[in-house]
Amino acid sequence: MKGIEHKIIGVIIFILFYYFKLFPEIINNFLSNYFNLAIGFIICIIFSGGRINSKSLINFGLSPDNDFHKKQKRSIIFHSALFPALAIILIPNAFIYLISFFYSLHILVDLLNPLSFEGKRHTYFLIFISVILFFVMIYTY
Ligand SMILES: [Zn+2]
């Protein structure tokens, strides 16, 4: 899946989750003023898709697809929710929660679309577990 498609899904989730207050409480509180809302929106666009080495602004991003590997050789470390989970344990603030949320959302979207996911079956399972654990964590931690 292309970075731009990931971003579009990210923006839709952002709007829905903001409107219906479905984010974890720490993020809901953070987004309660317009300045933070703008910051949250920018985080959503940058982290839900795109690559750092992209020359066009629209495809630029700090998403999990930045491991620079071919699809089949994706680094399971980067293309899983391992780092987001560690980040919110080490630095539990709303900013980190937002970044981790959209970074992990990217991976979740990849999992839902097996055509864009070229990993082996056990890799898929490990990544699936990491994403589930991450989302359970942010809604209970
Ligand atoms: Zn991806």
pLDDT in tens, 35-62: 999 999 999 999 999 998 888 888 999 9
pLDDT tens string, the chain, 141 residues long: the values are 788 999 999 999 999 999 999 999 999 999 999 999 999 999 999 999 999 888 888 899 999 887 655 555 667 788 889 999 999 999 999 999 999 999 999 999 988 876 655 666 777 888 899 999 999 999 996
Burial class of 66 by CB neighbour count within 10 A (0 to 12, 13 to 18, 19+): middle
Q: What is the pTM of this model?
A: 0.91
Q: How far does the centroid of ligand 1 lie from the alpha carbon of residue 105, in Å?
A: 10
Please give the backbone phi and psi of residue 75, each rounded to the nearest 5 degrees, phi first.
-70, 120
pLDDT of residue 66: 79
Q: How far does the centroid of ligand 1 lie from the alpha carbon of residue 53, in Å?
A: 15
Q: How far does the centroid of ligand 1 lie from the alpha carbon of residue 76, in Å?
A: 11
What tokens appear for 43 in the block? 């985080």
Secondary structure of residue 99 in the 3-state scheme: helix
Enumerate residues 6+ apart whose C-beta is below 8 A from 137.
Answer: 85, 88
Tokens 């979207």 identify what position?
109
Contact 78, 67 (CB under 8 A): yes
Q: How far does the centroid of ligand 1 lie from the alpha carbon of residue 61, in Å?
A: 12
